[in-house]
Amino acid sequence: MYFEDEFVTQDQLAKKLKISKVTVWRLLKQRDLPQMITIGRSKRWIREDINGWLQTLKNN
């Protein structure tokens, strides 16, 4: 749908939404974004969580 990869990075999300990385973190802090998971030392979002979140934004 929106993202093809299994996990979404901060850079990918910021680029897709056309917002800054700081805004991504601000949305996460405000709990407007799904929570991230930790893979090793990296933080990522699960594709289905982000795609579902984007779909709810589209429907509003």
Per-domain residue ranges of the chain: 7-59
Task: Give the pLDDT band (50/70/90) at residue 1.
Answer: low
56 within 8 A of 9, measured Cβ to Cβ: no
pLDDT tens for each residue of 7-38 = 999 999 999 999 999 999 999 999 899 999 99
**Which residue from 22, 28, 21 is spatially nearest to 49, judged by alpha carbons?**
28
